[in-house]
Amino acid sequence: MTAFIQYTLQGLSTGGFYALSALGLAVIFGVLGVVNFSHGACYMLGAVAATVLLDTLGLGFWAALPLVTLLMFVFGVLMERLLVRWLLKLDPLYNFLLTFGITLVLVDLVKRRYGVSSLPYQVPAGLEGRIDLGSLSLSRYQLFVSVFSVLVCLAVWMLLTKTRIGMIVRASTEDAERSRALGINVGRWVTPVFGFGIALAGLAGVLAAPFRAVNADMGSNFIIVLFAVVVIGGLGSILGAVVAGFLVGLVEAFGQAYADRFSQVLIFVLMALVVLIRPAGLFGKEEAA
Amino acid sequence: MSERATAQPTATERASGDVLAVESLSAWYGEARVLTDVSLAVQPGEVVTLVGRNGAGKTTLLRSIMGLHRHVEGTISWGGRELGKASPDARAKAGIGWVPDDRGIYASLSVAENLTLPPVVNKDAWTLEQVYEQFPVLHERRDFPGTKLSGGEQQMLAMARVLRMGSRLLLLDEPSEGLAPVIVQRIGEIIRQIKAQGVAVLLVEQNVKFASTVADRHYLLAQGRVVESLDNDAFQSRTTELLEYLGM
């Protein structure tokens, strides 16, 4: 039972990164129709930025959390304005290739500047160590990450369901063309939504910095799992992205505990099963015949 | 470019009537030409149907008017202004309301949100209260996800949505398709009511009988061309022939 709770917590904390990032991926895909391959690199950039802020300016985790998120939002806005925007009218494949290219550039820039070895990052003050509850011993930081990412997902959920902006984003995520035909200027929301999605990836990166190896390549495996998350949840489904994010986190944690090397395989077995039973994903809308 | 220019017609244009005029419109999908030299007009308070077989280009015509199909030549003007390259949202704000053949109800929005998503574009638009009074079932189900409604209810919702926007031209794509006769009758009533309010309606319809109960005039479309234009009397007297022509 103790082990079970520990793995669950570990799964929820990893799932938190996946859920936050997949949420960003989902709104970007929904509103822009862009599959952002650079999402993993943006997650990596968020983590690297946190370590750099600490090394150069002495800014710790609690300052990095809002600051890096904001910086990544600006980065996303620039990326959309300067690059992604110009290809929006073409086949979606072009933006997929563009963001793949951006990934390669970002990874190599980080390698060039900071090398390939992992950058150390401390667990923030106040969240070190473990909480002992009798036989149960839980990592404070994992507990924090789990709760925090659930709260951020809830906040984003409230934003999406309780505000007019959220209503427009949901409608455009479901069908951007139809929203335009109903008088919604979807184009106005494209830049902020892209920035928002990238900011969420950056936020996940900062959260990951204290207990994942921070290096230029940390995003490459991440993006593969992230695509599995999006497929499981259903492409374009916001709720699906969040639920599948935590689900995959749990599968990974229990996989590592009981099946060790097969933990990654399990994620894709899950994906295959979901696609077999529900081709559009758990929360995806089935295409009309 | 001209996105703003078409957004709000001036008072004089409004007074001169919201006329839809399509002139020598051709449309393509890639290399394939799906509309050839189509001309038609719809006056305020007039219900006009486009009748034709599947693939005749009816939906493409509606999509071109809405600005969703961009590969076109010819002119489309609305309320005295040429729409040119105006975006779909600018056209919607200028008073063109789209009711797509799949009804276009959002699954991720509640019934009430589906109604209030589009901006109100005219002062004489239906209020939410009016909508609920006309369609009590939408009020009852206002917190349900839009797609949890029955087909007929979704059709009502799609029409109510553009009425709440205050659209002055409705593009209705097969509103009777797949619905029970009672519901089709109700949709006919709504169309007549909209017409009485001076709204122009361009209706794509394969149900010839239904078309003849609501429309003033009809255009027959075949292989992307208008092959005939009939008033409703002529249309009714030739129903059998037309049904055969349509292969129904």
pLDDT tens digits, residue range B109-138?
A: 999 999 999 999 998 899 999 999 999 999
What is the domain extent for residue A187?
12-216
Q: Report angle CA A92, A98, A103 to the nearest 5 degrees.
A: 130
Chain A contact for B165, CB < 8 A?
A: yes
The verdict on a CB contact (< 8 Å) between B106 and A180 is: no
Give the percent of chain B with pLDDT over 90.
71
Residues 173-212 of A with CB under 8 A from B: 173-175, 177-187
Contact A170 B100 (CB under 8 A): no
- How deeply is B200 buried, as exposed, middle or buried, from its count of CB atoms within 10 A (0-12, 13-18, 19+)? buried
Residues of B in contact with A177 (CB under 8 A): 68, 88
User: Measured between beta carbons, which residues in chain A are less than 8 angstroms from residue B161?
Assistant: 182
CA separation for the pair A36, A181 (Å, rounded): 26
List CB contacts (< 8 A) between B68 and chain A.
Answer: 177, 180-181
> Per-residue pLDDT for B13 more than 70?
no
Which residues in chain A have their CB less than 8 angstroms from residue B86's CB? none
Nearest Cα of chain A lies from the Cα of B6 at a distance, in angstroms, of 13
In a domain, A178, yes or no: yes
CB contact under 8 A, A181 and B119: no
The architecture that CATH gives domain B11-246 is 3-Layer(aba) Sandwich (3.40)
ipTM over the 0.90 cut-off: no
Identify the pLDDT of residue B248. 57
B64 versus B124: which is more confidently predicted? B64
Q: What is the pLDDT of residue A206?
A: 95
Please tell me what DSSP assigns to residue B4.
T
What size, in residues, is chain B? 248
> Could B102 and A288 be called an inter-chain contact, meaning their C-beta atoms sit closer than 8 Å?
yes
Mean pLDDT of B135-144: 94
- pLDDT, position A66: 96
Nearest chain B Cα to A287, which residue?
B102
A288 pLDDT band, cuts 50/70/90, is very low
Q: Tally the domains of chain A.
A: 1
Residues B7, B2: Cα–Cα separation, whole Å = 9
Has residue A141 been placed in a domain? yes
Q: Report yes or no on A226 lying in a domain.
A: no
Q: Is position A90 within any domain? A: yes
**Does the pLDDT of residue B38 top 90, yes or no?**
yes
Query: Which of chain B's residues have a Cβ under 8 Å away from the Cβ of A171?
Result: 106, 108-109, 117
Residue-range domain boundaries for chain B: 11-246
Residue of B3, B69, B108 to mutate when probing chain A, most A C-beta within 10 A? B108
What's the pLDDT score for residue B65?
Answer: 96
Question: Two tokens at A129?
Answer: 């160590």
Flag whether pLDDT at B247 surpasses 80.
no
How far B90 CA lies from chain A's nearest CA (Å)? 7
Q: Which of B89, B91, B107 sits opposite A184 (nearest CB)?
A: B89
A30-39, A48-57, A83-92, range with greatest mean pLDDT:
A48-57
Alpha helices in chain A (DSSP H): 2-32, 39-52, 61-79, 85-87, 92-114, 140-162, 164-174, 176-181, 187-208, 218-233, 238-258, 263-277
Give the pair of three-digit tokens for residue B93.
């704000």
Do the domain assignments include residue A26?
yes
**pLDDT category, B5, cuts 50, 70, 90?**
very low
Question: Taking CA atoms, what residue in A is nearest to B120?
Answer: A183
Please tell me the distance in Å from A182's CA to the nearest CA on chain B: 5
Considering only the beta carbons, identify the residue of A171, A178, A186 that sits closest to B100: A178
- Is B121 in Cβ contact with A183 (below 8 Å)? yes
Cα angle vertex A42, ends A36, A47, to 5°?
155
Inter-residue contact B103 to A172 (CB < 8 Å): no
